Structure 1
Amino acid sequence: MANAERTMPEGDTVWRTAQRLNQAFAGEPLIRTDLRWPGISTLDFTGDTTLEVISRGKHLLHRLDSGHTVHSHLRMEGQWLIADAATARPDAQTRAFLSTARWAGLGQRLGMLDVVRTDAEHTLVGHLGPDVLGADWDPALAAANLTRNPTIGAALLDQANLAGVGTLYAAETLFMERLHPWTPPAELPGPVRLAVVNRAHRLLGRGRQHAVQSTTGRRRRGENTWVHGRSGLPCRRCGGTVRVAMIGPPTRERTMFYCPTCQGGLAPTDDGRPQRPLGASPRRY
């Protein structure tokens, strides 16, 4: 198991990004556009006015009055930076550059970048389940969708079930609900599945209010999560050792942090060998 955990931005982070972009761009005409992506690099939306920028799960939709939408996904390393238009300059990591007279948005290391007609957004995000932070949030539907997957951990991470939950909130939700991540969701009573999605909704709802994600109520680095990123360290609840193992179908496995004592034993993908804390040097362990 790797000694470092790279976390994909989750729904609350993407929601905050959409809010910042919307504040900077909504109602303002674009004076420069530069899309550095195969197939769309010749498109120019100079003169178009931004209607709104919204999030849909982990996706960003930048809607223009020309009837087009610039769609992006941050994946593992992407981010949108907002800078003064007078001094902002794209660099080798810039995949999208959009500028008004006042502000510039630089899409850095984006994982996805597309342009579609706004009335065709469903071709990019129509497969998503209810958005945990969206107006379409439907906990009953999300809870029912979980039964599509063989494990509750993989079900929470499947964006077709509910959109916005990533590895951090999946692990924290299941720990707080005292559920083994490898439990088949079809074997869980309906009220238990509903409690799971409601917990995820509450956690992301609180997370979008702060720049630092926290499920413990503390925002100091190293104190902000119960189990996520804490393999090899004592469980904050029972004092046992937090572990990490892979979960999900082949080629789409994700990391899942959990406490075997609090959550019902070792994972089927966990060999039980000692695990160093993430980032720990072997010589210091």
Structure 2
Amino acid sequence: MPEGDSIWRAATRLNAALAEQVITASDFRVPRFATLNLEGWTMTEVVPRGKHLLMRLVGPADEEPGASRKPRELTIHSHLKMEGSWMVYPPGGRWTKPGHTARCVLRTASADAVGFSLGILEVVPTSEEDRIVGHLGPDLLGPDWDEEEALRRLQAEPDVPIGYALLDQRKLAGIGNIYRCEACFLSGIHPALPVVSVPDLAKTVNDAKRLLGENLGPGLRSTLGPRAMRPGYWVYGRARQPCRRCGTPIRRDVLAAPDGTEERDIYFCPRCQPRH
């Protein structure tokens, strides 16, 4: 599942291509919105919210006699889940992904934007955005980031493993499996450690925030810092490879949700991140 930095980059790319552009044709390839036609609507902005993308549009003024001529506002909400992506092409450009996986096509005079294999795709009145993203915690990459509120939400469930709590988008939005593993390593804590036992919760959260912020530009994602010889991770995906700090083989395990309904891979150094 994409991390918050991936969604931020996608929103930036889409906003650069579509903002203030008039939609010349739209094609929603999901049954619920198959008849929706946004031709003539203007894309005002594309913004990220955690792992969600919000594409805001304003419609033509109502031309009926006596109408208030107040613009209508809609939001295209998408979530990439595991396999989704948004691609931008020149008008009429050849797609680089199979056509049968396209779920939304938006055309303007200067670009075609195509959403492939989207996990969630819906169109809602912009005034109702809170219904779909209002449950999210503070966004680590958002302009309204609130560290105090994020910590409060994490501490509200003190017995939840920190490695699970960091993935809970209701507590703070934008962290995925890569950054939770890397932040736990940098803080020297085992992902299974309960939130209440984390010695410096603010450091763990800010490590994740810093790592996300360092990966907003082009190039390969890396958590090793600007002085690293090449991109890479401290522990994520490095099972059985030596720890970059102490040489101990990195371990891979699974961490279950508190109710046991979900398990996700975790990577950690057993020496740098003792469980007890």
Same fold flag (TM > 0.5): yes
Rounded Cα–Cα distance in structure 2 between residues aligned with 1:88 and 1:28? 21
CA contact (8 A) 1:85 1:103 kept: yes
Residue 175, structure 1, aligned to residue 149, structure 2: no
- Percent identical pairs in the alignment equals 44
Aligned with 1:162 (options 169, 172, 189): 172
* Deviating 4+ runs (over 6 angstroms): none
Deviations 1:133-182 (A, max 9, x none): 00121112112222226100001111011000000000000001101111
Residue identity opposite 2:178 in structure 1: L
Deviations 1:48-84 (A, max 9, x none): 0000000000000000013100011111111111001
Structure 2 segments unaligned to the other structure (5+ residues): 60-72
CA contact (8 A) 1:98 1:104 kept: yes
The alpha-carbon deviation at position 246 of structure 1 amounts to 1.4
Rounded Cα–Cα distance in structure 2 between residues aligned with 1:116 and 1:88? 30
Residue 15, structure 1, aligned to residue 21, structure 2: no
The alpha-carbon deviation at position 243 of structure 1 amounts to 1.1
Deviations 1:112-150 (A, max 9, x none): 101100010111111100000001211121122222261
Rounded Cα–Cα distance in structure 1 between residues aligned with 2:31 and 2:162? 37
Residue 200, structure 1, aligned to residue 197, structure 2: no
The alpha-carbon deviation at position 109 of structure 1 amounts to 1.0
The alpha-carbon deviation at position 87 of structure 1 amounts to 2.5
The alpha-carbon deviation at position 240 of structure 1 amounts to 0.7
Structure 1 segments unaligned to the other structure (5+ residues): 1-7, 267-285
C-alpha RMSD over aligned residues: 1.6
- Secondary structure of 1:262's counterpart equals coil
Aligned with 2:45 (options 35, 39, 52): 52
Count of residue pairs the alignment pairs up: 255
- Secondary structure of 1:95's counterpart equals strand
Residues 71 and 228 of structure 1: is their aligned pair in 2 closer, same or farther, counting only changes over 3 Å?
A: same
CA contact (8 A) 1:212 1:219 kept: no
Residue 94, structure 1, aligned to residue 102, structure 2: yes
Residue 37, structure 1, aligned to residue 30, structure 2: yes
- Secondary structure of 2:214's counterpart equals helix
Aligned with 1:104 (options 86, 90, 112): 112
Return the TM-score normalized by structure 1: 0.86
CA contact (8 A) 1:245 1:255 kept: yes
Residue 210, structure 1, aligned to residue 218, structure 2: yes
Return the TM-score normalized by structure 2: 0.88
Rounded Cα–Cα distance in structure 1 between residues aligned with 2:27 and 2:179? 34
